[in-house]
Amino acid sequence: MYASRTARILNSMKIHARTERLLLRDWMLDDVAPYTALVADPDVMRYIGDGKPRSRTYAVNFVQEQIRHQKTRGWMRFVVEEAATEAFVGFCGLDDQRGRLDFGWRYAKLFWGKGYGFEAASAALYVARNEYGLTRITCQSVLDNPGSIRIMQKMGMSEIGTDMASGETVVVYGFPEEWPDGL
Ligand SMILES: CC(C)(COP(=O)(O)OP(=O)(O)OC[C@H]1O[C@@H](n2cnc3c(N)ncnc32)[C@H](O)[C@@H]1OP(=O)(O)O)[C@@H](O)C(=O)NCCC(=O)NCCS
């Protein structure tokens, strides 16, 4: 569950942002175990894709993909870590999905309801824009995930269109000034 200081040093892990309570950092292979537990939780995965919990193989592939991205382009879904405890909270950050820059987040249930979602999203957005010059960022969610949609709204995003994902309608949010004509 915890990323040891030694592992950090050996991996020369990049810290992308620090907030009052969180770190946004690079991935390392030690993250596979807590990420496997996170995606095995049906409550966490309820609104994602087919809504089913995912396997360790899924988690390994995901972590490897993020490590590839951090080596090649620097940005990805950043690991969110609790600063005080070094606990793996989940991820928050960008991915390129079906030709769109998709901003997303996923946290272990233990950490919900503490304001971490908004705190991490604000920091990740700052890094995406100011360090990597990313624009026309979008977020998408199924219609009945109020926590996720609330984070988008609190960041100043609004609905710019809808799309289909895994056979379900999803609402797509963006910054209106970047999407004057919608999606
Ligand atoms: C959705 C998720 C990211 C929210 O994270 P969080 O850390 O609990 O969110 P925060 O505490 O920062 O809350 C942000 C806002 O959303 C609201 N909120 C959070 N969860 C909510 C819920 N289940 N229902 C209604 N509002 C909710 C909070 O009250 C807060 O709004 P406020 O400041 O106006 O009071 C988290 O529950 C999660 O990881 N869920 C599983 C994965 C997932 O669904 N990812 C998104 C896929 S689109």
Query: Which residue out of 78, 150, 152 has the highest number of ligand 1 atoms within 8 Å of its CB and is therefore the one to mutate?
Result: 150
Pairing of strands 168-174, 88-97: unpaired
Residue with tokens 């950490």: 111
Instruction: Give dist(CA 89, CA 84) in Å, integer.
Output: 12
- For residue range 14-33, what is the model confidence (pLDDT) as tens digits? 999 999 999 999 999 999 99
**pLDDT computed for residue 153 by the predictor:** 98
Helix (H) or strand (E) holding 61: helix 56-72
Q: Is residue 49 part of a domain?
A: yes
Name the residue type at position 166: S
Which pair of structure tokens corresponds to residue 106? 């996923």
For residue 112, what is the domain's CATH number?
3.40.630.30
* Cα 106 to ligand 1 centre (Å): 10
Q: Which residues lie closer than 8 Å to 99 by C-beta, 6 or more apart?
A: none
| Percentage of the chain modeled with pLDDT above 70 | 94
In a domain, 118, yes or no: yes
Predicted confidence (pLDDT) per residue in 60-115, tens digit? 999 999 999 999 999 999 999 999 999 999 999 999 988 899 999 999 999 999 99
74 lies in a domain?
A: yes
Closest approach atom of ligand 1 to CA 90: 39
Indicate whether 131 belongs to any domain.
Answer: yes
Q: Rounded to the nearest whole angstrom, what is the distance from the C-alpha of residue 50 to the centroid of ligand 1? A: 20
Tell me, yes or no, whether 144 lies in a domain.
yes
Check pocket membership of 99 for ligand 1, CB cut-off 6 A.
Answer: no
Is the pTM of the predicted complex or chain greater than 0.85? yes
Token code pair at residue 43: 């409550």
Residue 39 belongs to a domain: yes
Whether 91 is in the pocket of ligand 1, judged by its Cβ within 6 Å, is no
Determine whether the shortest distance from the Cβ of 53 to ligand 1 is under 6 A.
Answer: no
Number of domains making up the chain: 1
Check pLDDT > 60 for residue 177.
yes
Does the structure show a pLDDT above 70 at 11?
no
| Region of residue 99 (left: phi > 0; alpha: psi -120 to 50; beta: else) | left
Identify the pLDDT of residue 12.
Answer: 75
User: Which of the four pLDDT bands, split at 50, 70 and 90, describes residue 117?
Assistant: very high
Residue with tokens 């624009």: 135
Check residue 13 and give its pLDDT: 87
Range of the domain at 114: 5-178
- Is the pLDDT assigned to residue 156 strictly greater than 80? yes
Is 183 inside a domain boundary? no
At 15, which helix (H) or strand (E)?
strand 15-18
